[in-house]
């Protein structure tokens, strides 16, 4: 029987870490909120830019976001960026687009003075070293959440990601299907994490947050009659219509394109079934989908909000705080999903 689970929820700003131990109060488990690897790497690129040094990227593909913005500034400063083909996929799935930005694709570090950066979303060795200082060891069971747009060459990654959500709804939208032991081949970021942590169970960050928010007793108490769960992340807003053990609808947009009033309008119309996929995509978001046989709008009057940018949704619903710690909603969701899969 598995008694300890390492849950790591990797977002754009932070990587939230929970070392869950069966039999002790969750409040007493080891918890950490650290900068995400993409944020760390973006900072190192910015320092290289200030020092006027070229950069060599190796390792695996990982979450882009801040890294890509930092690289654009580095290239704009007239400095060089070299990358292995695998690491270059952090920037774009299509290597031709990466080269068009000015990045030079290489197999090894060029013979010049470059700052080498090893890319990976999950640094288990580094985390293990840090925890070892407190006599804490990494357990065998590891669960990780990342946001994966999927490998989309020749098409919009926003559309591709939302097609994944639509397929999930078409398969029944079962909450239990949100965790992977075997990752679909197109979810390349998740596969890269599994290379760093073989056997790790994987979830999407939004899915983990939704699952975690349902562990708040107030939210969980509404699950059978229906609840809208909204995760306002640092980069994405994900809302799900939950009733029973199923998700009946999903809305996803970019946090940076949202305001309080705009979010309120979207959520109220989402509950009523008045938001179209095309509207959200044309507004710069990912999309919106709702099953034709979804319960009526009155089933989703209760709104539960989680996520590091939840202040944007202040006054729009109940702020979910599972186990008294909102920042670990995703980790709690990971643990709940793992326990269900492993029947703990």
What pLDDT digit, counting tens, does each position of 131-161 carry? 999 999 999 999 999 999 888 888 888 898 9
Give the count of domains, the chain.
2
Do residues 105 and 11 both lie within one domain?
Answer: no
Q: Give yes or no: residues 108 and 150 share one domain.
A: no
Length of the chain: 344
Which pLDDT score is estimated for 205?
Answer: 94
- In this structure, what CATH number is given to the domain that contains residue 71? 3.40.50
Domain presence at residue 128:
no
- Look at residue 126 and tell me if it is in a domain: no
pTM beyond 0.85, yes or no = yes
Q: What is the pLDDT of residue 113?
A: 85
Report if residue 185 sits inside a domain.
no
Q: Do both 149 and 253 map to the same domain?
A: yes
Establish if 191 belongs to a structural domain.
no
- Segments in the chain forming alpha helices (H): 37-50, 66-76, 85-88, 95-101, 124-132, 157-170, 188-196, 205-213, 217-220, 260-272, 277-282, 329-341
Indicate whether 64 and 26 sit together in one domain: no
129 vs 118: CA distance, rounded Å: 17
CA distance 3 to 203: 20
Q: What is the pLDDT of residue 267?
A: 96
Q: What is the pLDDT of residue 315?
A: 95
Same domain assignment for residues 23 and 54: no
> pLDDT at position 343, please?
78
The pLDDT value given to residue 1: 53
Residue 105 within a domain:
yes
Q: Is residue 270 part of a domain?
A: yes
Reading across the β-sheet that carries 246-254, which strands appear in turn?
287-290, 246-254, 236-243, 227-232, 303-306, 318-319
**What is the model's pLDDT at position 344?**
59
Q: Are residues 162 and 225 in the same domain?
A: yes
Q: Which residue matches tokens 């109940």?
A: 318
Q: Which domain holds residue 335?
A: 4-34+141-176+204-341
pLDDT score of 281: 95
Instruction: Note whether 172 and 267 are same-domain residues.
Output: yes
Residue 238 sits in the same domain as residue 277 = yes
**Positions in the chain whose pLDDT score sits under 70:** 1-2, 344
Q: Are residues 317 and 216 in the same domain?
A: yes
Output the pLDDT for position 156. 86
pLDDT at position 298, please? 87
Is residue 51 in a domain?
yes
């Amino acid at each position: 029987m598995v008694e300890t689970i390492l849950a790591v929820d990797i977002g754009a700003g932070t990587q939230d870490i929970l070392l869950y131990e069966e039999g002790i109060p969750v409040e007493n488990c080891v918890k950490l909120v650290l900068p995400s690897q993409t944020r760390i790497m973006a900072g190192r690129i910015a320092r290289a830019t200030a020092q006027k040094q070229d950069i060599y990227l190796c390792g695996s593909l990982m979450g882009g976001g801040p890294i890509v913005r930092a690289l654009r500034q580095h290239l704009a400063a007239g400095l060089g960026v070299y990358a292995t083909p695998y690491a270059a996929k952090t920037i774009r799935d299509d290597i031709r687009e990466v080269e068009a930005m000015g990045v030079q694709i290489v197999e090894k570090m060029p013979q010049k003075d470059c700052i080498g950066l090893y890319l990976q979303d999950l640094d288990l060795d580094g985390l293990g070293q840090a925890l070892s200082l407190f006599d804490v060891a990494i357990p065998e069971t590891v669960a990780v959440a990342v946001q994966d747009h999927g490998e989309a060459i020749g098409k919009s990654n926003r559309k591709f990601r939302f097609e994944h959500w639509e397929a999930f709804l078409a398969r029944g939208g079962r909450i239990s299907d949100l965790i992977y032991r075997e990752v679909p081949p197109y979810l390349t970021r998740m596969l890269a994490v599994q290379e760093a942590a073989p056997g790790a169970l994987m979830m999407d960050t939004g899915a983990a947050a939704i699952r975690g928010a349902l562990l708040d007793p107030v939210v969980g108490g509404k699950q059978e009659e229906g609840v809208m769960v909204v995760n306002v992340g640092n980069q994405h807003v994900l809302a799900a219509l939950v009733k029973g053990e199923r998700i009946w609808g999903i809305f996803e947009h970019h946090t940076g394109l949202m305001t309080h009033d705009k979010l309120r309008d979207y959520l109220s119309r989402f509950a009523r079934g008045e938001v179209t996929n095309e509207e959200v995509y044309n507004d710069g978001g990912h999309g919106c989908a709702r099953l034709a046989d979804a319960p009526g709008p009155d089933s989703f009057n209760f709104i539960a909000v989680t996520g590091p940018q939840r202040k944007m949704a202040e006054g729009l619903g109940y702020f979910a705080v599972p186990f008294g710690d909102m920042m670990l909603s995703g980790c709690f969701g990971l643990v709940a999903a793992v326990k269900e899969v492993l029947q703990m």
